[in-house]
Structure 1
Amino acid sequence: MMIEMLRAGCLANVPHGFAGRRGGVSTGVHAGLNVGLGSDDERDAILRNRDLARDALLPGAKLVTVRQVHSPDVVTVRAAIEEQDRPAADAMVTDRPGLILGILTADCVPVLFADPDAGVVGAAHAGWKGALSGVTDRTIQEMEKLGAQAQRVRAAIGPCIGRASYEVTEPFLRAFEEQDPENGRFFSEGREGHYQFDIAAYVAARLAANGIGRVEMLDEDSYSQPERFFSYRRSCHHGEASYGRQISMIAVG
């Protein structure tokens, strides 16, 4: 099966793509294009899937990923990084051609950034902890150090868990409201004592607050589309022992 690679209109002239689970060589609960080195999938299959994803975007380029830890930390990438040397971080920026920045997700929010005029790109993994602590803010700051300007930056939010699928507790809601009372608008009431969280909208608002020139949301719910996307929460609800990860990629054009 061919790899499904979603594109964002705002990044039309920048090599990028949000890959789902279609295609790939993994089987079982990881069936498809599982690129997660932290999963219990067969290592050879994971590495093959990573090569397939890379070649679907820019054959011959070097795919760079980090060891994601739900932090606001950003790495400036100037050269290829070997798998065993991956730093702990949740976002990357670069101005070097020939490098693909890859972010892995399975419900969290993947964000791809580009200032084509400056030749600077970025990629961020925004789970709720990273989003709340400012991983996207920091990504923009690090892009600016390489010559990007926020008002020129375009950002695309890829497949992630949707509001209808993301039930949270009241203490979770309070953590966001304590940071900013306005954050309550990203939550709607669910069953008693619970709320539905629109994490994609929250991330989009953080981007807009940082002066990003254009923000595009693909509006694809990873939880409710098992044939297209991996989902950590869905795997938990189904009692599965492991889960796959999909990859979102961007490179300097």
Structure 2
Amino acid sequence: MTVEVNRARALDDVAHGFLGRRGGVSTGITAGLDLGRRGQVEIGPDLAENRRRAIAAVLPGAELVTLYQVHSADCATLSVPWDDRERPRADAMVTDRPGFALGILTADCAPVLLADRNAGIIGAAHAGWKGAIGGVADATVAAMEKLGADRDRIFAAIGPCIARASYEVDEAFQHRFEADDPANERFFASARDGHAQFDLEGYVAHRLATAGVRTIEMMGLDTYTDADRFYSFRRATHRGEPDYGRQISIIGI
């Protein structure tokens, strides 16, 4: 099976792709294109082959760069490649250097890819709910601007993530967002007593727009419901499975 690459129209002339689980060599409960490391320092043969296939599907010959993701709002700027064993603890990165493929791992959180074509500056962010409300989208746009990007020229796309219909949260979760901004109520829909359905994709798009990004594409791909195409932490948890995989989203120059 070939690697499935989901591409956004907003980034159609930029090397990028939101990958799923199809086309990899991992076996067992995380069969497919699993790029998850779950604390591993060394890269095993299956992970190495999945990385190779992912790069070849998006930007052949590029050097894949990833982060030690911690659900923060921190953004790293890539000027020279960092040691894979000493990846920055951050959830977004930007660069203006060609030859690098910025890779973000997700399993329900929202992957965000951004580009200012004119300036030759790209960004990638991992937006879980903690990073989203903390401002990871805002930080990524600011870091791109610091490199010379113009917010008016930045195009962004939000890839596969858990959809509102699949993302039930409790009242405390909703109150946290409404305390930050009462208008955030619109990202929640009614559910069973004491719970609501949260629109992570819509909220991330809102934060990008508030940061000054004018063109934002929401791809509307639900990781939770489409088990054949995507990994999902919440689905694995609900099924009582002992492990879960993570897909990668890549952008490069």
Shorter-normalised TM range:
over 0.9
- Deviation of 1:56 after TM superposition, in Å, equals 1.0
Show the counterpart of 1:58. 59
Cα deviation code 1:114-163 (max 9, x no counterpart): 00000000000000000000000000000001100111000000000000
Show the counterpart of 1:122. 123
Report the AA paired with residue 129 of structure 2. Answer: W
Q: What SS is found at the alignment partner of 1:23?
A: coil
Q: What SS is found at the alignment partner of 2:113?
A: strand
- Whether the 8 Å CA contact 2:16–2:59 is kept in 1: the answer is no
Show the counterpart of 1:131. 132
Q: What SS is found at the alignment partner of 1:18?
A: strand
Q: What SS is found at the alignment partner of 1:145?
A: helix
Show the counterpart of 2:160. 159
Show the counterpart of 1:28. 28
- Within 5 Å, give how 1:5-24 maps onto structure 2: 5-24=5-24
CA distance in 2, matches of 1:146, 1:115: 11
- Whether the 8 Å CA contact 1:63–1:80 is kept in 2: the answer is no
- Deviation of 1:211 after TM superposition, in Å, equals 1.2
CA distance in 2, matches of 1:141, 1:181: 24
Q: What SS is found at the alignment partner of 2:94?
A: strand
Mark the runs of 5 or more structure 2 residues left unpaired by the alignment.
none
Confirm whether residue 37 of structure 1 aligns to residue 37 of structure 2: yes
CA distance in 2, matches of 1:22, 1:82: 28
Confirm whether residue 195 of structure 1 aligns to residue 222 of structure 2: no
Q: What SS is found at the alignment partner of 1:139?
A: helix
Q: What SS is found at the alignment partner of 2:229?
A: coil
Aligned residues between the structures: 251
Show the counterpart of 1:218. 219
Report the AA paired with residue 15 of structure 2. Answer: P
Q: Structure 1 length normalisation: TM-score?
A: 0.97
Q: What SS is found at the alignment partner of 1:45?
A: helix
